[in-house]
Amino acid sequence: MIKSAHKVLVVDPENCTGCGICTLVCSFHHNQEYNPSRALLTIIRNEKNGINIPVICQHCDTPLCMESCPADAIYRDAKTNAVCINQDNCIGCHQCLIACPFGGIHIDVADGRTVKCDLCEGYAMCAQFCPRGALLYLEPNELTDRLRKKGVKKAADYLHIITGGAKK
């Protein structure tokens, strides 16, 4: 059961084609330019296996980035539950970047600021424009239902394989 009352950004790498729309939308929303290198998320690509994985801040319950910040520049937004950076307080030490186990914090290539996903003030533009649903911004009850349905489908697929039955 999901505890949070806030929406949650979910990555489903099985659906990611590596199209990069998420990075374009993100960079435009935050910097008014279509420049994937300025997006607040990245896509890890394995060309050999055809695997693409969007890497984005997980907005952890206990954010190591926040705990590691000596300037108290990282805070949790009360409205969205996003873990955000207050640029006025940030001293650019990059301790948060080192502490993040998910690679969710970046250095902006244009100005050197430490940046990360802020859930677009509660709109998660990357998820809104993802054509395949690799990025989803869901209510907690939707997340539970989605995981349950995905589990049921996988179980049915495995049952067909085990029994040798044809998939319908």
At 56-90, the pLDDT tens digits run 999 999 999 999 999 999 999 999 999 999 999 99
Q: Which has the closest alpha carbon to 10: 21, 22, 19?
A: 22
At 132-163, the pLDDT tens digits run 999 999 998 887 777 767 767 766 776 676 66
* pLDDT score for 2: 45
Q: pTM for the complete prediction? A: 0.82
Q: What CATH number does the domain located at 8-138 have?
A: 3.30.70.20
Q: Where are the domains of the chain?
A: 8-138
At 8-37, the pLDDT tens digits run 998 888 889 999 999 999 999 999 999 999
What are the counts of helices (DSSP H) followed by strands (DSSP E) for the chain? 5, 8
* pLDDT score for 47: 82
* pLDDT score for 1: 39
